Chains A and B, each alone.
Chain A
């Protein structure tokens, strides 16, 4: 089997046992990228020279029988929203097209220390705003399972790169579903950690109370390995939790018999896409077959989550994106009469339509006269949504739902109707508002061969349990071994 088909843990074993050189692995990945990237367009930037230089360093150490870090030579793709020192970090926006960060995000430093090798930066919806990666200012990423279909978003480039075997694993970010939904659309595994589990230092901010970085991988073990590597308190991020990081990989094994899986009635509605409904029903039967006990629960405020999110997230975004003013970095308009004029033109020329839409909506929601009716109201509903989860978790250990209401849709199908696009996130958004962790695993395909995602949501800081359930499901099925024909 080609090295590019292997998982992180398989490559790790081969490299650590000296059976394969890190250089061979990285070379094999770039050959694969050369064969397939033109059709998929997952990457904004590729970094073959530095990747091979790092791989060579580890190869030399292994030849001299020196100890190498645990993930030496493991080739990863990094979403272009995560700062990488000396390597362009564009957020798929014209306003940062030429931005080269002078520092690494904390997660990047931790992965580097573990020996991981970066292959490049992946395409995304501009500033993480979108559910299809169609909002990228640069290119259209295709779903490897269906080249006319979107890969999901906003971490569509990372999801496509993993699904197409153009990396062993990738990093994405999730504010309203942006690792889980594209993972669902591309048939891979991805986890959004509890808010505060992973440092946001170096993650370009979209919505500061919702953003989290998550691993996107070929299987659950890989997600556990990456999460363990980069999770944990960071003094540079005062919203990062000061809690120890468990051995997520070690905790995967073991039975799930007796575990209570909650199915919220609000996520299983009449008029649901029939193939999604049937795949999820089958998945729940598999879990019951493994001894898990189904509990019917309710998350009564589910219907208000999208509305709440589009006030909270846009308000925070309007503040976070105020820094893009052409003064110290990024794009600046070539001609302007005075400073304010420079700001107005720079932002008009640099931001795409979805970004502008959200900035205006967020600014409106915070403006005098509207703050109470919109933003403050949304913050109160957020409390109710959080309480829904706290209540439900008294009666179950994990909550199981579809990841998306629909299978992957075609390009241009939703782009002209922002509200339709926003409703794609209906099943993932609540977890961000409540701050709880969630994982997507592939649970089947439609008749036309499009992936369907199963979402497992857990208690705050209980990533172990959702990883364990996901792992048990994966081992009892073979959905995660399927690859698109490319």
Chain B
């Protein structure tokens, strides 16, 4: 039984804002199917009483005082803009037809 279908790849690609060509979609589906087949071995392990690890260092919420500090200047922040208008980043229209 296939681990992942072309439709699922298409759906997930859309979630990830990634447009795929038909050829890419075909190839990816086959490759991901094989990778997910390999990953299936994790089901050999009983993890019913195991806690998940999200981080490997003793994390405390690291806080600082809410004080204004120097940060990136406006010109620096805009320097790599693909398209700008004054101090704004310009993008294509948001509303689709």
Contact = CB atoms under 8 A, between A and B. Distances in A.
Interface of A: 98-100, 102-103, 195-196, 209, 235, 238-239, 241, 301, 303-304, 306-308, 310-311, 318, 322, 325-332, 336-345, 347-348, 351, 353, 356-357, 359-361, 363-364, 367, 374, 376-384, 386, 418-419, 422, 434-435, 460
Interface of B: 4, 8-9, 12-21, 24, 28, 31-32, 34-36, 38-39, 41-45, 47, 50-57, 59, 62, 64, 72, 76-77, 79-83, 89, 91-97
Contacts of A378: 42
B6 to A, nearest CB: 12
A100 B62 CA distance: 29
Contact of A308 (B24, B42, B59, B95): B42
A114 to B, nearest CB: 24
Contact of A307 (B42, B64, B76, B97): B42
A332 B83 contact: yes
A311 B32 CA distance: 12
Given A308-B42, A381-B45, A418-B35, A348 B18 contact: yes
Contacts of A338: 92-97
B91 A379 contact: no
Contacts of B21: 348
Given A100-B79, A196-B57, A364 B19 contact: no
Nearest to A307: B39
B32 A102 contact: no
Contacts of B62: 238
A379 B82 contact: no
Task: Pick the 9 closest A-B CB pairs, nearest first.
Answer: A435-B56, A379-B52, A329-B80, A238-B62, A344-B19, A332-B82, A380-B47, A102-B76, A343-B17
A102 B77 contact: yes
B45 A360 contact: no
A356 B18 contact: yes
Given A327-B91, A356-B18, A380-B53, 20 more contacts: A102-B80, A307-B39, A308-B42, A330-B80, A336-B92, A342-B91, A342-B92, A343-B17, A345-B19, A360-B28, A361-B36, A363-B15, A364-B4, A374-B39, A376-B52, A379-B52, A379-B53, A380-B52, A384-B45, A386-B56
Contacts of A325: 17
A325 B9 CA distance: 20
Contacts of A359: 16, 18
20 contacts: A102-B72, A196-B56, A304-B41, A311-B42, A330-B80, A339-B91, A340-B17, A343-B17, A347-B16, A347-B17, A348-B21, A356-B20, A357-B28, A357-B32, A361-B32, A367-B15, A377-B42, A379-B53, A418-B34, A434-B56
A344 B21 CA distance: 11
B42 A339 contact: no
A322 B15 CA distance: 10
Given A209-B54, A339-B93, A342-B92, A360 B18 contact: yes
B97 to A, nearest CB: 8
Nearest to A195: B56
A347 B17 CA distance: 7
A40 to B, nearest CB: 30
Contacts of B51: 380, 383
Contacts of A435: 56-57
Contacts of A377: 42-43, 47
Contact of B57 (A195, A306, A328, A345): A195
A351 B76 CA distance: 25
B20, B92, B95 — which one has the most chain A CB atoms within 10 A of its CB? B92
B72 A360 contact: no
Given A329-B81, A337-B92, A359-B16, A381 B42 contact: yes
B2 to A, nearest CB: 13
A99 B76 CA distance: 12
A209 B12 contact: no
Given A357-B31, A360-B32, A98 B41 contact: no
Contacts of A99: 80
B42 to A, nearest CB: 5
Contacts of A419: 31, 34-35, 38
Contacts of B28: 356-357, 360
B55 to A, nearest CB: 6
B61 to A, nearest CB: 8
A418 B91 CA distance: 36
B57 A360 contact: no
Given A304-B42, A382-B53, A418 B31 contact: yes
Nearest to A334: B82
A361 B91 CA distance: 29
Contacts of B35: 310, 361, 418-419, 422
B16 to A, nearest CB: 4
Contacts of A382: 52-53
